[in-house]
Amino acid sequence: MNILDKIVIDKRREVDIRKSLIPISQLEQSVLFERKTNSLAQNLRQSNSGIIAEHKRRSPSKSVINQDLNVKDVANGYENAGVCGMSVLTDGKYFGGSLDDLIIARASCNLPLLRKEFIIDNYQIIEAKAYGADVILLIAAILTKQEIKQFSELAKSLNLDVLLEVHNEEELRKSIMPSLDMLGINNRNLKTFEVNLETSKQLSEHIPNDFVKVSESGISSVEAIKELQPYGYKGFLIGENFMKTDNPGESAAAFIKTLES
């Protein structure tokens, strides 16, 4: 069993518990439920840098990245740096995140916020909306085609953007549908954790131009982005690179300045 399988098993248990504690009707009464969302896809289309910066305390592959920062400072810093959007990990067991992180980020900045989560149930999409997200992540490796359709259509009905993540051509082929806004290519092999930018290059030609192309994982240099831009990539998800520093916002600002110069 690989790490992704383990995460999904734990996630199903966790979602069942959450559902029993907070019914959907209560989530729908959240003050943030009526809020007008910001489109990450639109921001990426109009941007020269395309940086989606992440708040991430730890990960299964790197263990602790940074436990000392507070979300408010990170969100402020990213916004001042001029990133296109912020990704907030809400998985507790494997990444040390929470929905509280999402709500604090929402109160601290006006950036489009991506709820970075292992979504396996409609409930989590309604939850994302209630906690102030603008975008949800769907991971093709853990979902059927029917689930991708169901979840992405629900997200669109709530005015949320949808970023679908794939790792190979097979996942990409089953996933392309009009209810997605962005297609993310994860350069990390989730079975071996090895990272290879060639994955983004090879899969780029299979992504129709209606979707914003996003490259994820292993992007730690301006050179990597310049290498991927000719392949049509408009978005670049960067987590560890900024989070492992004492001031992620300043790191992001310096990175964007170098990229745009």
**Distance of alpha carbon 55 from the chain centroid:** 10
Average pLDDT, the chain: 95
Q: For this structure, is 216 an active site residue?
A: yes
Q: For this structure, is 152 an active site residue?
A: no
- What does the pLDDT read at residue 190? 72
Cβ count within 10 A of residue 185: 27
Two tokens, residue 148: 């991708």
Q: For this structure, is 234 an active site residue?
A: no
Quote the pTM value: 0.96
Q: For this structure, is 34 an active site residue?
A: no
The arrangement of secondary structure in 3-260, i.e. its CATH architecture, is: Alpha-Beta Barrel (3.20)
Q: Which of 14, 216, 241, 251 is catalytic?
A: 216
Nearest CA-CA partner of 116 in 143, 87, 142: 87
Q: Which of 14, 43, 56, 234 is catalytic?
A: 56
Residue extents of the structural domains in the chain: 3-260
CA–CA distances in Å: residue 168 to residues 6, 94, 189: 20, 23, 9
- What does the pLDDT read at residue 73? 96
pLDDT tens digits for 168-218? 999 999 999 999 999 999 998 877 778 999 999 999 999 999 999 999 998
DSSP 81-143: HT-SEEEEE--STTT---HHHHHHHHHH--S-EEEE----SHHHHHHHHHTT-SEEEEEGGGS
Greater pLDDT, 193 or 57: 57
Whether the CB-CB separation of 179 and 201 falls below 8 Å is answered with no
Whether the CB-CB separation of 17 and 45 falls below 8 Å is answered with no
Q: Which of 11, 116, 213, 234 is catalytic?
A: 116
Q: For this structure, is 147 an active site residue?
A: no
Averaged pLDDT, 20-28? 97
Q: Which of 14, 49, 54, 108 is catalytic?
A: 54
- What does the pLDDT read at residue 13? 98
Q: Which of 24-28, 55-59, 242-246 has the lowest mean pLDDT?
A: 55-59
Q: For this structure, is 157 an active site residue?
A: no
- What does the pLDDT read at residue 140? 97
Nearest CA-CA partner of 54 in 232, 226, 258, 218: 218
Beta strands 161-166 and 63-64, pairing class: unpaired
Two tokens, residue 69: 């920062």
Q: Tell me if residue 74 falls in helix, strand or coil.
A: helix
How confident is residue 136, by pLDDT bands cut at 50, 70 and 90? very high
Q: For this structure, is 240 an active site residue?
A: no
Q: Which of 49, 87, 186, 187 is catalytic?
A: 186
pLDDT tens digits for 92-132? 999 999 999 999 999 999 999 999 999 999 999 999 999 99
- What does the pLDDT read at residue 63? 76
Beta strands 63-64 and 85-89, pairing class: unpaired
